[in-house]
Each structure stands twice: as C-alpha cells, then as structure tokens.
C-alpha cells in the first residue's frame, strides 16, 4: 500500500472503519444480509461470484486487456462538446467552485492520444481488413471521420475531478429518461439525488411493481453506475507534489458512496446491482463462445502469432465462463406474448442508444471514453442474450447474416466485463484496507 493511501485512510477513525466493514464483511448482521447471500431475480450468491472472479476471471481478463487487439478503442469528440454550453447535458453552473473543478477535470480528464507511428500504420491495415469483412450489423459512429483509436492502457479509468452539477445532470438524465420510472414516483432515481428524509430501501418499493425485464434494466444501469464509482474511489487523486499526481484508494469517498448509514441503506443495493450486472455480462460471454470458436473468426492485428495467442487466451476465458454453475437464466426474460416481448426488446435497444447519446455529452474526455465503452459493452452483452437462436445457427466457415460482432463491439464487450471484474476485485481490496485500519 502506498504512503499516500495510508495517509488517506489513517484519519477516518475507528467508527468509519467499523461501519464499512459491516457493509462488506461476511460477519452475520442485518446489513451483511443485504450485500451477501443470494441476489434478487436470480439464484446466485455473492460469495460464489467473489471466488470465481478472484481465482478464474480477473487474472486472465487483465492479461487480455493488455493485448493489442483489446487495448485500442475508437472514440470521438462529439459536436455537442465542441459547441460549448449549447448542449443541455453539458451546461456548467456559473460559480467559482464549479469552474475550479472544471479546470481540474480538463487537466486530469484529458485523453492521452499518444500513438507510435507503428501503431498508426497498423490501424490502417486493421481498417483495410475490417472493410473486407461482410457486415450485417449497425456500425454506429465507428466510421465517423472524428473517431480515432485511443490506447486504453494510457488512459486508465480513475478520478478526474469531473463532478458537481454537470456530472449530476448527466446521470440524472440517464436514470430519468431510460429506467421506466412510474409517473407516481417523484424523487429522482439518481442515487446522488437528495433523499428528502425517506429511507433508501423504502423508496424502491416501486421497483417491485415493475415486470422482471424493467427491473433488470434498472439494475443494469445502477450496477454500471456503482462500478464506475468504485473505479473512481479505488484510483483517487490523493495528492499532487511537484506536478506529479499520486493515485490510490480513498476510503472516505468510498464511504460517501456506499456506506449504508451515509446512503440511508442505498449503498448495499448499489453493490448488489454491480454483482447482478457482472452476472448478466458473464452469461453473455458464455453464450457468445460458439461465435469465436469458429475458425473463420480471428482477432486480427497483422501479427499472426500474437493474434493466435490472443484468441487462445480469449477461448480459455470463455471456457471458464461456461464452467460457472449459477448463471442468470435469461430465458425468464421476454417470456410473455411475442408481440409484447418484441416491443420491449426494441424499447431496450432505443434506451441504450439514448444512454450512449447522453454519454456523448459528458464534459470530461476520459470519463466519456470509458462511459461510452462500458455502455456499448453492456449493449453488446444484451444483443448476445437476445440472439441465442442466431448464434446456434452460425455457419462454421462463412459469415452469418443473422449475427455478427464488429471489432468495436468485441473490444467494448471484453473491456466492459474487465471493468466489472476489476470493480469486484477492488471491493475485496477495500475490505482488506479497512481491516488494517481498525
């Protein structure tokens, strides 16, 4: 543990440590029952996910993210950002504190666009290869002239200073416009919204009145939000000396976002939704394995040996995902009448497009990069779960008109799952830190 991390955690006091241990420990308590045990809407327990992730998934997915095929993702700066304050999601309040925060966010959140000449030449070859493939799915903004490859290893997801009303508006729009909230519920769904005195758990009674599919959608967005917050807490700017930043876990920030007392009971719910999202994407990876097992599918970078090694590692991860014994049963979703199910699937798709559009309006380059990637990764996971029949009918030696994934979707899918795997690992790290701080 770094010296900066020790300083960040040392002054929080025994009461903070004990309360956070209650949130995450495996000791029997009322709160523990909320963040361990069996998850709602599935038959999987959190302990099993922790062990599976720690010993099987996390080490391998981390290696995969370092391979050339998976470390580069296409990103662009949307017109809404370039145009300044005209965008409804990116307006910044005109006060000194927020302007100072914005200045820090611009510095820490800037994209490192450094690419070697060798990489730039490789991207031209990749584009030529990708263009030669048959595409039967929507390419979104991959072909945009403004899109360029970004090295994800040079741009890790961490605290950037992007916060305040600007960040609040983005997440509030995501929740309010997309999460099927009944009109009778007046409080914003954004977890950072003022609670108006009510208990966090009791506020969510409306959720139980929704159909399974709409409950799942809310949990996915909440889980994504929780995962992103965990990354920021685990990689926080602790101090900056002589222009050199020091990053590490911030227990005070973790407590503010997840402690059951400070969040009035909502913190454990957010953590449970993170585990639920992990299960959904884990299930998608196990289902899409046959697509990648075909000889026609390669992970092309121009380096034949590396490409073969990357595919071997990926297939090894897929084998692990298929071995997990308590998968989410996606067949329980959209099991009603065909017309209604088709309409709801289309609603899901449109909501994800809207969320991606809102993410375009995030005023921090690095936050937008990772927000877009993880949103696309989750959207790709749902696309897989909705395409089981098409995947089962895939031809071995020719492209399929029924189901296909682009390079961008593949990179987003595995990196998004890698972020979830890291989040669950970071939870374990916070637990250890808190035990040592008692």
Catalytic site residue from 179, 233, 361, 364: 364
Examine residue 19 and state whether it is found in any structural domain, yes or no: no
Q: Mean of the pLDDT values across residues 117-130? A: 68
Residue-level pLDDT at 331: 79
Q: Is 222 assigned a ligand-binding role in the annotation?
A: yes
Contact status, residue 404 vs residue 135, Cβ threshold 8 Å: yes
The lowest-confidence range among 106-120, 175-189, 338-352 is: 106-120
Whether 367 is catalytic: yes
Of 360, 417, 382, 392, the residue nearest 147 (C-alpha): 360
User: Does residue 353 sit within a domain?
Assistant: yes
Classify residue 1: in a domain, yes or no: no
**Residue 426 CA, distance from chain mean position:** 14
Count of structural domains within the chain:
1
Phi, psi of 149 (to 5 degrees): -70, 140
As a whole number of angstroms, the distance between CA 35 and CA 29 comes to 10
Question: Is residue 158 part of an annotated ligand binding site?
Answer: yes
Q: Any idea which of 149-153, 160-164, 169-173 has the lowest mean pLDDT?
A: 160-164
Given the residues 102, 233, 361, 367, select the one marked as catalytic. Answer: 367
Q: Residue 24 falls within a domain, yes or no?
A: no
Q: Is 171 annotated as a binding-site member?
A: yes
Spell 253-262 as b/e; 16+ CB within 10 A means b: bbbebbbbee
Paired residues of 245 in beta bridges: 240
* 44 lies in some domain: yes
Task: Confirm whether 5 is domain-assigned.
Answer: no
Q: Which residues pair with 74 in a beta bridge?
A: 149
- Residue 229, number of CB atoms within 10 A of its CB: 21
126 annotated as a binding-site residue: no
Tokens describing residue 109: 């959140």
Q: Is 6 annotated as a binding residue?
A: no
Asked whether the predicted pLDDT for residue 92 surpasses 60, the reply is no
- Tens of pLDDT, residue by residue over 37-75, are 788 878 788 999 999 999 999 999 999 999 999 999 988
Q: Which stretches within 248-364 are classed as H helix?
A: 251-258, 266-293, 304-323, 338-359
Range of the domain at 252: 30-80+93-190+208-436
User: Could you tell me whether strands 148-151 and 236-241 are parallel, antiparallel, or unpaired per DSSP bridges?
Assistant: unpaired
In a domain, 373, yes or no: yes
Q: Is 407 annotated as a binding residue?
A: no
Give domain status of residue 2, yes or no: no
Distance CA 378, CA 284 (A): 9
42 is catalytic: no
């Amino acid at each position: 543990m770094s010296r900066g991390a020790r300083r960040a955690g040392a002054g929080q006091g025994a009461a903070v440590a004990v309360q956070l241990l209650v949130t995450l420990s495996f000791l029997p308590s009322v709160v523990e029952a909320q963040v361990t045990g069996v998850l709602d809407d599935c038959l999987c327990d959190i302990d099993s996910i922790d062990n599976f992730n720690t010993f099987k998934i996390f080490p391998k997915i981390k290696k995969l993210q370092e391979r050339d095929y998976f470390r580069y993702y296409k990103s662009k700066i949307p017109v809404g950002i370039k145009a300044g304050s005209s965008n409804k999601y990116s307006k910044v309040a005109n006060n000194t504190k927020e302007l100072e925060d914005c200045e820090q966010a611009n510095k820490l959140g800037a994209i490192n666009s450094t690419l070697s000449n060798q990489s730039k030449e490789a991207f031209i070859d990749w584009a030529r290869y990708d263009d030669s493939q048959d595409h039967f799915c929507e390419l979104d903004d991959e072909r945009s002239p403004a899109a360029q490859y970004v090295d994800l290893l040079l741009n890790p997801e961490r605290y950037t200073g992007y916060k305040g009303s600007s960040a609040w508006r983005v997440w509030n729009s995501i929740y309010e416009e997309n999460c099927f909230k009944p009109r009778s519920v007046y409080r914003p769904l954004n977890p950072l919204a003022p609670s108006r005195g009510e208990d966090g758990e009791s506020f969510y009674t409306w959720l139980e009145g929704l159909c399974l599919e709409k409950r799942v959608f809310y949990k996915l967005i909440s889980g994504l939000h929780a995962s992103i917050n965990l990354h920021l807490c685990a990689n926080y700017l602790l101090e900056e000396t002589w222009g050199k930043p020091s990053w590490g876990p911030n227990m005070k920030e973790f407590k503010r976002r997840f402690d059951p007392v400070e969040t009035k009971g909502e913190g454990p719910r957010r953590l449970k939704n993170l585990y639920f999202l992990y299960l959904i994407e884990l299930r998608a990876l196990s289902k899409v394995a046959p697509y990648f097992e075909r000889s026609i599918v390669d992970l092309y970078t121009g380096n034949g040996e590396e490409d073969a090694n990357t595919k071997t590692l990926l297939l090894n991860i897929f084998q692990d995902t298929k071995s997990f014994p308590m998968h989410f049963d996606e067949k329980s979703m959209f099991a009603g009448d065909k017309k209604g199910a088709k309409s709801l699937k289309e609603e899901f798709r449109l909501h994800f497009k809207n969320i991606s559009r809102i993410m375009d309006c995030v005023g921090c380059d690095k936050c937008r990069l990772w927000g877009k990637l993880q949103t696309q990764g989750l959207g790709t996971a749902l696309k897989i779960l909705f395409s089981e029949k098409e995947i089962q009918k895939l031809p071995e030696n020719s492209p399929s008109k029924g189901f296909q994934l682009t390079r961008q979707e593949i990179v987003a899918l595995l990196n998004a799952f890698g972020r979830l795997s890291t989040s669950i690992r970071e939870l374990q790290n916070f637990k250890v830190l808190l035990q040592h701080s008692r």
